[in-house]
Each structure stands twice: as C-alpha cells, then as structure tokens.
Amino acid sequence: PSLKDVFAGDFKLGTALLVNEISNPNGPDAQLLKKHFNSLTAGNELKWDATEPRNGEFNFTRADQIFQFTMNNGIAFRGHTLIWHSQTPDWVFHDANGGLVSKEVLFERMKKHIDTVVGRYKGKIYAWDVVNEVIEPADGKPGGLRSSLWYQIAGEEFIEKAFVYAHEADPAAKLFINDYNTDQPWKRQFLHDLIKRLQNKGVPVDGIGHQMHIGIQSPSVLDIDTTINAFKDLGIEQQITELDMSVYTNDTDKYDAFPLDLQKKQAARYREIFNVFRKHKDEITAVIFWGKDDQNTWLRTFPIVRNNWPLLFDERLQAKYAYWALVPRT
Ligand code: XIL
C-alpha cells in the first residue's frame, strides 16, 4: 500500500530527499518517492549556501531539479529553509573588512535573498520554514533565543523581518517556524510564548514545524501528545517536518546490524506515534520524514559516522517492520 493513501484523510505524508535520489527520474529511488509521498522537502538544495553562495549570485540548478520532479508528478513542494544559523555563508554577516555588518545591511541582504528565493517559486511552494532552530538551551539548561549571528546583529527583530519579507514575496505560502526537541517543557513554553509575541505584533506566522528527530526510547508518546496539545490555543497549523527515529539512546553506541528486537520496538513505537498524529489530524496538516530510507539518512554521519536505521525503508529500499506497522492489514 501507498503511505500517502493510507493517511489521505488525515494529513499530507512526505519526505525530504536529496537531488541525487532523482538523478534517474524513473529509477527505484524515484519510484518509491512517487508511490508513497505527496509532499517533498529539499534536504539541502534550498538552503542559503546552496541558493546564494556569494552575494547576489544565485544558483537554482539543484533546487529546480527537485521542483520539476514535484511538478511532473503532482507532488506538493515544501520549502526548507530561509533563515538558519547553519549552512549559511559567512559573507551574509560580514563586510569587506571582516567586521559584522549593521542591522540595516543584514536586513537588506535578507530581503533580497527571500525575495529572490521565495519569489522564484511563488505559488508553487506551499509552505516555507522561514526560520529554523532559533531557540537554544544554555549549557543544557533552559535557554532562550539562539545566540546566532542573526541574533547578535539584529536581536529578535530578525525573526519578524523574515516572516514579513516571506509574506510579501509569496502571500499564499504558509509560513512556519521550525525547531527540534519541541517536546522539552521549557523549549515548548519558550516557543509558544515567542509565537504569541509574534502574533500580537501582527507577524504572519501560519504554522509551527516540529522537526521530531527522536530516539528509540524518548520522548515518550505522551510527551508528543502533550506537545501538540500545548500549541493548539495559538490557532495555527502544526506539521511534523523532519521525522526520524534513531535506534540509539546516546551519541556513541554503534551496531553492526540492526537487532531484531529493536526493529520490532521501532515499528511499535512508530505505530503509537502515528496514532497520536492521527488523533490530532485537525491540527497536523503534514507529517514528513527526513528521508525515505536508511541509506539516505543524515543519521549515518550525525552525530558520528555509524550505521543507523531510523526510517521506514532499508538500505535496499525494502519495507521494514516500521513500514508494515503503519499500513492497514488486508
Ligand atoms: C541536514 C541534512 O540532512 C544533511 O545532509 C546536511 O549535511 C546537514 O543538514 N535539522 C534541519 C535539517 O533542519 O536542515 C538538517 O538537515 C537536519 C537537522
């Protein structure tokens, strides 16, 4: 069964991909993408370092390949990401002498970038992660806004401007604030208050993106449920934007193979979590995996190089227990 059909009455079912997965548009990777997913996110190809590596020099070669693939196959295209502390070239923040630019210059560069990137896909990209990971803990304790160069130069205003510029460039696109570990109580609260502040100022925020890079053990299914509930009162969409489930509980373990008991545990946990998503289908408008298969997963290089099996299809694109846990029995 096709996953997107299984969840057709609930939410969009998507995945991130990298452009090399569709280098053959009829190859096995492309076939799997077309069969199961009705929303695609470019894994790297729309990030600032890919689209504007040097000031004013834009490159959409790879992003356009993914865009064409979505158009040809009637798949919705999701934009990731406009403003982030990572995968953003140094020139954005610096002047010719290597010093930090003023807030005014930073906003000028931001506006030009957003106008150009969002404008190019106006009416075609249905949702954008406007800002990504703007919150951070302080030494593992409750923190605040991440002390990125965006924040150091412009303070919280950089978030407001990013949404305003994105809305001007494409009034129809849904604009998201995206972050990880949104189940942590302090972070959840902080993010909730931040969105409330933005709403009170009339900033056009349409949705919250929960990345949902989770582990085999935590967060609990109840924590996930509580998190979705906690944002309901804001009256905006929620999307699960980068779902995967590492089979590890720490940053150092390594397995040669994927133990059978863990395969079954992963499957059962995926099933329970999707039951929660389904329960919240009025709030959740898309559930998107960060990759379709265990070969093409960033978790084989992050946080260290090791085997990992976080997704629904294995290295040979075969359906795993995790996949069978989500589709109805016949
Ligand atoms: C990751 C990509 O998957 C990798 O290929 C790249 O090397 C680093 O970035 N949170 C995000 C994504 O918002 O953009 C990240 O993607 C994974 C974590």
Give me the mean pLDDT over the 156-176 stretch. Answer: 98
Give me the mean pLDDT over the 27-54 stretch. Answer: 98
Say what percent of the chain tops pLDDT 70: 100
Nearest Cα residue to atom 7 of ligand 1:
298
User: In the predicted model, is pLDDT for residue 28 greater than 90?
Assistant: yes
Q: How far apart are CA 47 and CA 294, in angstroms?
A: 23
pLDDT for the residue numbered 41: 99
What is the β-pairing status of strands 284-289 and 125-132?
A: unpaired
Say what percent of the chain tops pLDDT 90: 97
* Span 83-126, pLDDT tens digits: 999 999 999 999 999 999 999 999 999 999 999 999 999 999 99
Q: Which of 45, 52, 237, 242 is catalytic?
A: 242
Nearest Cα residue to atom 16 of ligand 1:
43
Q: Using the 8-state DSSP alphabet, how is residue 171 labeled?
A: T
Q: Ligand 1: distance of its center to the CA of 47 in Å? A: 10
User: In the predicted model, is pLDDT for residue 146 greater than 90?
Assistant: yes
pLDDT for the residue numbered 114: 99
Q: How far apart are CA 41 and CA 16, in angstroms?
A: 4
Nearest Cα residue to atom 3 of ligand 1:
298
User: In the predicted model, is pLDDT for residue 43 greater than 80?
Assistant: yes
Judge whether 242 counts as a catalytic residue.
yes
- Counting ligand 1 atoms within 8 A of each CB, the residue from 46, 178, 213, 302 with the most, and so the one to mutate, is 302
* Span 314-323, pLDDT tens digits: 999 999 999 9
With tokens 């997963």, the residue in question is: 297
Q: Ligand 1: distance of its center to the CA of 53 in Å? A: 17
- Nearest Cα residue to 63 out of 142, 8, 117: 117
Q: Ligand 1: distance of its center to the CA of 86 in Å? A: 9
Residue 157 half-sphere exposure, CB side, CA atoms within 13 Å? 9
Nearest Cα residue to atom 15 of ligand 1:
43
* Span 2-18, pLDDT tens digits: 999 999 999 999 999 99
Q: Which of 133, 160, 237, 283 is catalytic?
A: 133
Grouping H, G, I as helix, E, B as strand and the rest as coil, residue 69 is helix
Q: Ligand 1: distance of its center to the CA of 249 in Å? A: 20
- Nearest Cα residue to 41 out of 148, 128, 167: 128
Tell me which fold the domain 3-324 belongs to: TIM Barrel (3.20.20)
Residue 132: pLDDT band by 50, 70, 90 thresholds?
very high
Grouping H, G, I as helix, E, B as strand and the rest as coil, residue 328 is coil
In the chain, how long is the greatest CA-to-CA distance? 66
Give me the mean pLDDT over the 46-68 stretch. Answer: 98
**Contact status, residue 266 vs residue 321, Cβ threshold 8 Å:** yes
Q: How far apart are CA 104 and CA 120, in angstroms?
A: 24
Give me the mean pLDDT over the 301-309 stretch. Answer: 98
* Span 242-289, pLDDT tens digits: 999 999 999 999 999 999 999 999 999 999 999 999 999 999 999 999
Mean pLDDT of the chain: 97
Q: Ligand 1: distance of its center to the CA of 181 in Å? A: 15
Q: How far apart are CA 313 and CA 301, in angstroms?
A: 18
Please, is 238 exposed, middle or buried when counting C-beta atoms within 10 Å of its C-beta (0-12, 13-18, 19+)? buried
Domain-by-domain residue ranges, the chain? 3-324
Grouping H, G, I as helix, E, B as strand and the rest as coil, residue 166 is helix
Amino acid sitting at position 20: N
CB distance 242 to ligand 1 below 6 Å: yes
User: In the predicted model, is pLDDT for residue 303 greater than 70?
Assistant: yes
For 210, the token pair is 């929960």
Judge whether 157 counts as a catalytic residue.
no
CB distance 132 to ligand 1 below 6 Å: yes
pLDDT for the residue numbered 142: 82
CB burial string 314-329: b at 16+ within 10 A, e below = beeeebbbbbebbeee
pLDDT for the residue numbered 138: 79
CB distance 44 to ligand 1 below 6 Å: yes
> In this predicted structure, which of 107-116, 118-127, 130-139, 292-301 has the lowest mean pLDDT?
130-139
pLDDT for the residue numbered 330: 62
Helices within the chain (DSSP H only):
3-6, 28-36, 48-51, 61-73, 103-120, 149-154, 157-169, 185-200, 221-231, 260-279, 321-324
pLDDT for the residue numbered 140: 76
